[in-house]
Amino acid sequence: MRALILSSFVAADEIGGQVQQQALARRGWRTALVPTVLFGRSPAKAGRGLPMPADHFSAMLEDVAAEGWLQADLVLTGHFSLPEQVEAAAEALRRAPPKLLVVDPILGDAPRGLYVRPEAAAALEALLLPLADWITPNAWELSHLTGLEVADLAQARHAARQLEPPALVTSAPLGEGETGLICCEEAGDTLIAHPRLAQAPNGTGDLVAAVFGAALAEGLPPAEAAAEAARAVLGWLMPSPGALRIEPLA
């Protein structure tokens, strides 16, 4: 199976498109990455990024489209540095709709807030979200996209229902000592919870989006795909991950 990734490239850290390529390769997938920004190391470590110029990004998109990658089994979008990149991606995806489009709306997080350019965030919301089959916002991004407070499980579920695509909410606010995912779909909501780590590394959201999208493309139901994504993250972070708490929500 094949996946096209539109996101950041970080040479020396497992975040962004690189960790997604690694996760998909472990599942036997082939991947193509069109980078939106180039980093030597993570921006969380003061890495200095070079945004891919919009014309270069568009040219790369045209080239991978000519090789059939827009018709891959999965298209994943993540970080965008420029609104023109979002516009080019949306145009290409409208022209050749993929089999499955998972949009990780990488906009910001608590407590820092928005960490992409506001105009890029606005373009993503206006142009890419309407095309998505699934979105994977964290709690802060869900609040930003809906304008609603997302401070607990009930608020997260309510906010997710205000968005048009179904949502897998990451870093869900579940109270002290616990976090996880909320899979919100037409058939109902499912909570996938696990113990909160004192310090989770950057890149966990990228990993969740990749494994979730791949599992969906492979035919798993959304709640099972979400649980597989959670297990992938725990297996990456912990030598002996405990069991997940999986709970259908009324």
Report pLDDT digits (tens) over 141-184.
Answer: 999 999 999 999 999 999 999 998 999 999 898 887 888 999 99
What does the pLDDT read at residue 31? 98
- Tell me the β-bridge partners of 77: 6, 103
> Is residue 22 over pLDDT 90?
yes
What does the pLDDT read at residue 111? 86
What does the pLDDT read at residue 36? 98
Read off the pLDDT of residues 69-79 as tens digits, 9 standing for 90 and up: 999 999 999 99
Full domain range(s) for residue 9:
2-249
Residue labelled with tokens 């997604």: 20
Q: How confident is the model at residue 238 (pLDDT cuts 50, 70, 90)?
A: low
Q: Are the beta carbons of 73 and 28 closer than 8 angstroms?
A: no
Output the six-digit token pair for 210: 């990749």
Interatomic CA distance for residues 177 and 186, integer angstroms: 29
What does the pLDDT read at residue 242? 67
Please give the average per-residue pLDDT across 82-91, as a whole number: 98
Interatomic CA distance for residues 134 and 14, integer angstroms: 23
The average confidence (pLDDT) of the chain is 93
CATH number at residue 131: 3.40.1190.20
What does the pLDDT read at residue 231? 92
Residue whose C-alpha is closest to residue 115's, from 107, 123, 104: 107
Please give the average per-residue pLDDT across 12-39, as a whole number: 96
Residue whose C-alpha is closest to residue 104's, from 218, 212, 246, 232: 212
Interatomic CA distance for residues 27 and 87, integer angstroms: 31
> Is residue 28 over pLDDT 90?
yes
Residue whose C-alpha is closest to residue 81's, from 171, 165, 10: 10
- pTM exceeds cut of 0.75: yes
The domain tally of the chain equals 1
> Is residue 99 over pLDDT 70?
yes
Complete edge-to-edge strand list for the sheet that includes strand 167-169 = 50-51, 30-39, 2-10, 74-77, 101-103, 134-135, 167-169, 178-185, 188-195, 245-249
Interatomic CA distance for residues 153 and 15, integer angstroms: 27
Q: How confident is the model at residue 240 (pLDDT cuts 50, 70, 90)?
A: low
Please give the average per-residue pLDDT across 224-236, as a whole number: 92
